[in-house]
Amino acid sequence: MKPFGRLAYTTARRIGTCKRNVTTSRHFSVESNVQTNIESGTLYEMDLTVAKQLNMKTHLPSQLAKQMDTLGEIVTLVREPTAEVASCMRVVDKHLPNLRLVLWGAFGTGKTVTLNQAVHHAYKNNWAIVNLRSAMELTRRVKEIEMSSFVAGRINDPSNAVAILQNFKQQNQHVWKTLTDLLTEKDYEWSKSERTLKEKPITEIVEMGISAPFLASDCVGAIFRELRRHAKNDKLKVLVAIDDANSLWGKTLVKRADRTYAPPSDLTLVVHFRRMIANDWTNGCVLMVADKKEVADARDELEVSRHTPLELFGEEGFEFIEPFVPIETSNYTESEADTIYNYYVSKNWLASKSGKHSFLPQYILNLPIFLARSEEGRKQLMYLSAFNPYYYERLCAFN
Amino acid sequence: MNNFSVKMTTKLARIAQKRWISSTTSTSNMYDPRVFREPITDVQELRKPLDVDDERNFLFVKAMKSDATPVFYRDHVIDKLIRVCTKDGEKETSRRNVHSALEIIKRRQYKAWVKASDEEKKNIELDPFVVAKKGIKNCHPLMKLQGVTRGGTTYQVPFPIEEPEAEFRAMKMMRDICRVRSKHGETHFKDILATELLAASQNEGSTISAKQELHKTCEANRAYAHYRA
C-alpha cells in the first residue's frame, strides 16, 4: 500500500473505531445537511420518496425490492461495513485524493445493500452521486454498438450511456440546483452541429446526452470530467458507487468488426468509469463491490471461485485500484439475526403461528409442528440459513 | 413344459434386471432388512436415550429421507405436493417451485391484509401453509374413475377412494393444470400454482371445476358400478 493510501486508511480506521456510542432509537436519526453518525446494529429506514429518487427498486437486489413492494417500506440493517463506509466518507476532503473502498465478501452477505446504504448516506449529506447498478451491464449486456468518433478504435454504447445519464439526473435531483451553478471548463464540440460552450452549466451536458443517444457516451466522459474538476475545487463532494466493479477488468461480450471480443479497455463507458476510479482527483469517495459473478460459472458446481479482491479484480485491476481500503462483509451475528427476526415479527411478516385448524384431517394435526414465531423457529431460521443474510431472507419469505 | 416356462421367466427376470425394467414390486433394496432399521427423525425422540432392548443399539440405521429432516416448516401436505410436482427426479427444482408459490401466496395475502380494516384482517389468513393445505383439501375428489374391461369393452367405473389417495389425486389434478398453463413459458409454474392454490382455498379455480367435472362423470357412470369386482 502506498504511503498516502495508508494515511487515509489509518485515518478511516481511527474514525471508525471511536464512533461507537449507544443509540436507543429504532431508526437512524435524520438531520439534513449533517454527516449523521451511523450506528451498526440498528435498523435503517429509507423514505419511500427518496428511495424512488435514488432508484432503489432497480439498484437493490430483486428480493429486497420485492420486500419493499410488499411491506411498503425499506428497512435494512446497518452493519459494520456500512458504519465503516460512513466513517470513511467522513474523512473525505479536498486535500486527500479520492478514497477508494472495496466491499468484498461471500455471496449474500450484503455487499450491494451496503453500497445502496452508502448511496443513501451520500444523499443525506448532499453529495453528488454517480451510481452504476452493475458494471457487468457495460461489458456483457451491450445491445447496440457504435464506433467512437472521438478516439479511433473505441466502442460507444449509446443505450447504456443514456441509461447512465438518466440515472445520474434522477439520483442527483437533490443537488441539481448546485450542479446547474457549476460551469463547464471548455468548449465541447460533440459533432458538427452540436456543441456545449464554455461557462455553461454542466447539466447541459447531461441534457445533451439524454436527447442525443449517439453523443451520450462522450457526454458521460465529459460530465465525469467536470465533476472531478469541481470536486477538486471543493464545489461539491462526489460518491462513485459501482456494483460488480471488478467487471471493468473482466471479459466482454462485445464483438469487433473482425469478430473477436473487444477487451474492456476498448469500451468508452468502461474507460470513463476507470478514470473515475483513478485517484488523480480529490474530494470524492469511490465505493466498489468485488463480486464473484464476473468469474464464477453458475453451472459449474464443482469449482468454487474465491471472492477476495485480488482474485476478482485480477492483477491489472488490482494494480489500478491500489491503494484501497478493503471492507469485508460477513454473515450475521446472532444479535443481528435477532434484530431482523424481531423486525419481521413486529411487521407480522413471519406468518406461521400456532393453533390448530379445524378443517385439517386428524393425521396431519398429530404431526409435530414447530413454527416460525416460536423459540425453536427462531433458532432454526438462524442455523438453516447458516447466518447468511440472503438465505435468512429466503427462509423468512415463505414461513 | 412347466420347466420351460420357469426357465423363461427367470431369463426374462434377468433381462428385466439388466435393463432396469421393473415389473414387480422390489423384494429387497440396498438396505438388507436383516441388518438395517428405520432411523429416528423426531427431535424430541432423538434426545431420549435408546431403549436397552432396541435393535438399533447393535444394528445399522438407514439414512434419513431428504424430506424427513426435522425443520420447523416440515409439513406433510407440502412435502407430498413437492413429490407430486417433481419431474425427471429434480426434486430440488420442484421444492423451489412450491416454496416460491408459497411465497407468492404470502405476499398477496400480506398486501391484502395491510389494506384491510381491523374487522377484515381477522378473516385473512397470512400463513401460506394453511392456505395451501385448505386449497388442496378443497380439491379432494370423492370418487375416482378406473377403467374396467368387460367383454372387450373398457368401462370407466367409479370407485370410492381413501383420504391419502384423494389427496394425491387432488394434487395431481392441480399439477397437471399448472403444467399445461406453464407450457412454452406462458407463465411460470410457481405463479400459476400460487394462483390455483389461492383460488382453490376459496373454492374457485380450474382445479375445483376439474373436480366437479369428475364428480359429474362419476354420477353419469354410476350404472357401471356393478363392474367393480
Residues A257 and A369 in one domain: no
pLDDT at residue A44 above 70? yes
Minimal Cβ distance to B126: which of A351, A361, A376: A351
Q: Do A66 and B107 touch (CB under 8 A)?
A: yes
Looking at the fold, whether B167 and B55 belong to one and the same domain comes out as: no
Euclidean distance between CA atoms A240 and B99, whole angstroms: 38
Q: Which three cell numbers stand for residue A318?
A: 488490482
Q: Are residues B61 and B96 in the same domain?
A: no
Which residues of chain B does A377 touch, with a Cβ-Cβ cutoff of 8 Å?
72
Same-domain check for residues A325 and A338: no
The residue from A329, A362, A389 where one domain ends is A329
Domain check: are A204 and A352 in the same one?
no
pLDDT tens digit string along A273-286?
999 999 899 999 99
pTM for the predicted model, two decimal places = 0.84
Q: Do B109 and B8 belong to one domain?
A: no
Compare CB distances from B163 to A349, A361, A399 and report the shortest one's residue.
A361
pLDDT of residue A35: 47
Identify whether the C-beta of residue A171 lies closer than 8 Å to the C-beta of residue A131: yes
If asked whether residues B61 and B134 sit together in one domain, one would say no
Residue of B nearest to A356 (CA): B130
The C-alpha of B155 sits at a distance from chain A's nearest C-alpha, in angstroms, of 33
User: CA-CA distance, A328 to A312, in Å (whole number)?
Assistant: 14
Q: Does A356 touch chain B (CB under 8 A)?
A: no
Structure confidence by residue, pLDDT tens digits, B111-128:
999 999 989 888 899 999
Amino acid at B146: Q
The residue out of A277, A294, A329 marking a domain boundary is A329
Does the pLDDT of residue A20 top 70, yes or no?
A: no
Given a contact cutoff of 8 angstroms between Cβ atoms, the answer to whether B173 and B161 are in contact is no
Q: Cα angle vertex A244, ends A249, A224, to 5°?
A: 75
Q: Is B91 exposed, middle or buried (0-12, 13-18, 19+ CB in 10 A)?
A: middle
Please report where in the chains the cell 382455498 appears, as a residue. Answer: B201
- Please say which residue of A329, A352, A382 terminates a domain: A329
Same domain, A308 and A386: no
Q: Which residues pair with A201 in a beta bridge?
A: A183
Same-domain status, B147 and B196: yes
Cell numbers given for A356: 390448530
Other Cβ atoms within 10 Å of B147 Cβ, number:
8
Q: Taking CB atoms and an 8 Å limit, are A352 and B73 in contact across chains?
A: yes
Say yes or no: A109 and A20 in one domain: yes
* Mean pLDDT, residues A289-310 taken together: 86
pLDDT digit string, tens, across residues B200-220: 999 999 999 999 999 999 999
Let me know whether B43 and B89 are in one domain.
Answer: no
- Which residues 63-82 of A have a C-beta within 8 angstroms of B? 66, 70-72
Residue B61 shares a structural domain with residue B93: no
Buried b (16+ CB within 10 A) or exposed e, A31-51: eeeeeebbbbebbbebeeeeb
In terms of domains, do A307 and A374 share one?
Answer: no
Q: Are strands A188-189 and A195-196 parallel, antiparallel or unpaired?
A: antiparallel
Count of A-B CB contacts under 8 Å: 69
CATH code at B88?
A: 1.10.455.10
Q: How far apart are CA A243 and CA A287, in angstroms?
A: 8
The Cα–Cα gap between A282 and A229 comes to: 9
Contact state of A353 with B127 under an 8 Å Cβ cutoff: yes
- Residue written as cell 476478482? A312
- Choose among A349, A376, A398: nearest Cβ to B72: A376
CB proximity B162 to A under 8 Å: no
Does residue A351 belong to the interface with chain B, where contact is any CB pair within 8 Å? yes
- What is the pLDDT, as a whole number, of residue A103? 96
* A229 shares its domain with A367: no
What's the pLDDT score for residue A390?
A: 95
The reply to whether B57 and B103 lie within a common domain is no
- Chain segment B140-199, per-residue pLDDT in tens: 999 999 999 989 999 999 999 999 999 999 999 999 999 999 998 889 999 999 999 999
Give whole-number Cα distances, B214 to A47, B141, B157, B170, in Å: 53, 8, 12, 11
Partnered with residue A77 across adjacent β-strands are A43
Could you tell me the pLDDT band of residue B33, with boundaries at 50, 70 and 90? Answer: confident
Could you tell me how many residues make up chain A?
A: 399
Banded model confidence at residue B47, pLDDT cuts 50, 70, 90: confident
Q: Are residues A175 and A281 in the same domain?
A: yes
- A83/chain B closest Cα distance in angstroms: 32
**For chain B, what is the domain count?**
2
Range of the domain at A384: 334-398
**One domain for residues B115 and B222:** yes
B132 lies in the same domain as B171: yes
Question: Same domain for A170 and A255?
Answer: yes
- Domain shared by A145 and A57, yes or no: yes
How do residues A253-274 score in pLDDT, each as one tens digit?
A: 999 889 999 999 999 999 999 9
Interface of B with A in 37-56 (CB under 8 A): 42-44
Looking at residue B12, what is its pLDDT? 55
- Cell 385439517: give the residue: A360
Q: Which residue of A has its CA nearest to B100?
A: A398
Say if residues A169 and A205 touch (Cβ distance below 8 Å). no
* Domain shared by A283 and A379, yes or no: no
Answer yes or no: do B101 and B53 share one domain: no
Domain boundary among the residues B68, B103, B123 is at B68
Q: Provide the residue range defining the domain that includes B11.
A: 2-68
Model-level ipTM above the cut of 0.85: no
Same domain for B59 and B151, yes or no, is no
Domain count, chain A: 2
Show residues of chain A in contact with B103, CB under 8 Å.
397-398
| C-alpha cell of residue A204 | 447541459
Whether A346 and A266 map to the same domain: the answer is no
User: Hey, which bits of chain A come out as E strands?
Assistant: 43-46, 74-77, 99-105, 128-132, 146-147, 155-156, 188-189, 195-196, 238-242, 284-289, 325-329
Predicted confidence (pLDDT) at residue B13 exceeds the cutoff of 60: no
